Structure 1
Amino acid sequence: MAIEFSETVPVGAPAEVVGRIMSDVARWPEWTASVSVVRRAATGPLTAGETIVVEQPKLPPSTWTVTRVGPTGFEWTSRSTGIRNVAGHWATDAGDGTSVAVLTLSFAGPLARPSLLFYSGLVRRYMAMEGEGLCAAAERHG
């Protein structure tokens, strides 16, 4: 059984702008303090199957594999000992030139629940930081 976290953020920019910013993962450290380094070997648009290393403060580096990509976001997965994570980053147009970004993160596996005893507060803080930074970045570029 997975443990789910989500952050829903209204953004004053169209979903395509938000999706483009989210999908440009190499630039995340520019707009969210929850990510310090992103190492991506490929250039250009994200592609399914691509792997990306993400470093975050207070956490060990993690390798994410992109599983789905669309014009308004993407999903990727990561594994560590006893834990499987799935993270979604999607935007939907609100119909008036604005959008709603939905960030999701699930934890599954035998060590998911014990690890979240220590990390759930950090997960919530980082998702809020990502949502706030994404909103600001999209509204600057939208």
Structure 2
Amino acid sequence: MSVDFRDTIAIAAPAPVVGGIMNAVQEWPSWTASISTVERSSAGPLTVGESVVVTQPKLRPATWTVTKVDTNGFEWTSSSVPGVHNVGGHWAVDNGDGTCTAELTLSFAGPLARVVTLFYGSLIRRYIRMEAEGLRKAAEGAAAQGR
């Protein structure tokens, strides 16, 4: 059994622009206050198997391993909290008109998933919303500048 969180947001920018911003995880602290630091294990494009350490306000650092990646986003997993396995997805879905919808998901599974989400559910929802709004602003700004 898992506990799932999901947020979607319409973005007036093409999916590859949004995907590029999401895939540049080291830049996240510049556009969302829900992320303090991001440390990648390698340089260049985000790759499957890469480890990324993410620090967020009010939370312990979490090590994430990239499991899927393409030009429109990525998925990663973490088991930084004992008894809990997380899967996070960050995807831009093309709307066919030069815009996209970003889908941000975070799933918690394992024997302690319900307990963790009971205590942190409201913070998780707030951080996912902050990330969605920050992503929209960053992507629409980049699209307006022709990036």
What's the TM-score bracket when you normalise by the shorter of the two chains?
over 0.9
Partner of 1:123: 124
CA shift at 1:16, angstroms? 0.2
Query: What's the counterpart of residue 86 of structure 1?
Result: 87
Instruction: Give TM-score, length-normalised by structure 1.
Output: 0.99
Match of 2:108 in 1: 107
Superposed, 1:3-82 pairs within 5 Å as: 3-79=3-79, 80-82=81-83
Structure 1 gap ranges (5+): none
Give the alignment's TM-score, normalised by structure 2: 0.95
Taking the aligned partners of 1:139 and 1:120, their CA distance within structure 2 comes to: 29
Q: Give the AA of the match of 1:84.
A: H
> Partners of 1:44 and 1:16 in 2: how far apart?
17
Greater Cα offset, 27-36 or 38-47: 38-47
- Structure 2: which 5+ residue stretches go unaligned? none
Deviation at 1:96, TM superposition (A): 1.2
Q: Matches of 2:11 and 2:23 in 1, distance apart?
A: 16
Number of aligned positions between the proteins: 142
Distance (Å, rounded) in 1 between the aligned partners of 2:70 and 2:38: 20
Q: Which amino acid aligns with 2:136?
A: C
| Deviation for aligned residue 1:70 | 0.9
Partner Cα distance (2:130, 2:6) in 1? 12
